Structure 1
Amino acid sequence: MSDVITLTGLTARGRHGVYEFEREQGQDFVVDVVLALDLAPAATSDDVADTVHYGELADRLVEIIEGDPVNLIETLAGRLADACLADPRVGTATVTVHKPQAPIAHAFTDVAVTLTRGRPA
């Protein structure tokens, strides 16, 4: 599928991480999502009901980020991808979770995990 919806830089505070201080203090997580789906129906109808409502999707993703903590951002990315795929029109979802305040003892700009999930064949 060549049509995509991209949501970049969605930021929310979560309490994910292996260390107790990450759970206690929390930190910002930044999420990028790319959804592959057929946008022809929406392009023809000009009706938001014929596409993924990215505002509603953003609300759901923030709920997950702010919700139950997990140890790994890989797990968080999986939960976010599942939420994207809850809409049956989405063929694949690519989710990147950035953890810019990760507890790394060296100067760095970002650490991120990207995964792509699709519908089972």
Structure 2
Amino acid sequence: MTHSENVTPLKIADAARAIRHVFVRDLSLEAHIGVYAHEHGRTQPIRVNVDLTVSEAAHSDKLANVVCYETVVNEIKALVAAGHLNLVETLAEQIATQCLADPRVIVARIRVEKLAAIPEAASVGVEIERAK
């Protein structure tokens, strides 16, 4: 079973409420993260998933009128590159805060997984949901 098979898909997009679902799936990065001494001074693989509930507007086929997933990814990369974090919870909160800074984002669901922390597990981590 892959990690995706054990996660229930979200129904976020909603025509009646003019809601769009913007997402980033399985963003793989190397991060300086962890509380233990053996986790300091080196990177380890993480996977980030982002689900955003976004209020729709007429986008006129212009990138400036939508929540851009490339911008979301670049912001996550910048957070990861900023330096060592002890907890995946901290990174998840930082990502949620960054996403919610866009006035069009109503809800941010963030999952951060460490892929090599527990040898017997495919991944361990945290998923949070934050709303305005």
TM-score range, shorter chain: 0.7 to 0.9
* Higher relative contact order structure (alpha carbons within 8 Å, sequence separation ≥ 6): 1
CA RMSD of aligned residues (A): 1.4
By how many angstroms is 1:23 displaced? 1.8
Alignment of 1:48 onto 2:60: no
1:4 equivalent in structure 2: 21
Equivalent runs, 1:1-121 vs 2, <5 Å: 2=14, 3-42=20-59, 45-102=60-117, 104=118, 106-119=119-132
- TM (norm. structure 1) is 0.87
* Between structures 1 and 2, the one with greater helix share: 1
By how many angstroms is 1:65 displaced? 1.6
Q: Is the partner of 2:55 in helix, strand or coil?
A: coil
Aligned residue-pair number? 115
2:4 equivalent in structure 1: none
Counterpart-to-counterpart distance in 2, 1:13 and 1:21: 15
By how many angstroms is 1:112 displaced? 2.1
State the percentage of identical aligned residues.
Answer: 32
- TM (norm. structure 2) is 0.80
Q: Is the partner of 1:81 in helix, strand or coil?
A: helix
Gaps of 5+ in 1: none
Worse overlay, 88-97 or 47-56: 47-56
By how many angstroms is 1:32 displaced? 0.3
> Contact 1:16–1:22 (CA<8 Å) still a contact in 2?
yes
By how many angstroms is 1:29 displaced? 1.2
By how many angstroms is 1:64 displaced? 0.6
By how many angstroms is 1:68 displaced? 2.3
By how many angstroms is 1:62 displaced? 0.8
**Cα deviation per residue 1:1-56 (whole Å; 9 max; x = unaligned)?**
732111111121111101122121210111000010123422xx111111111112
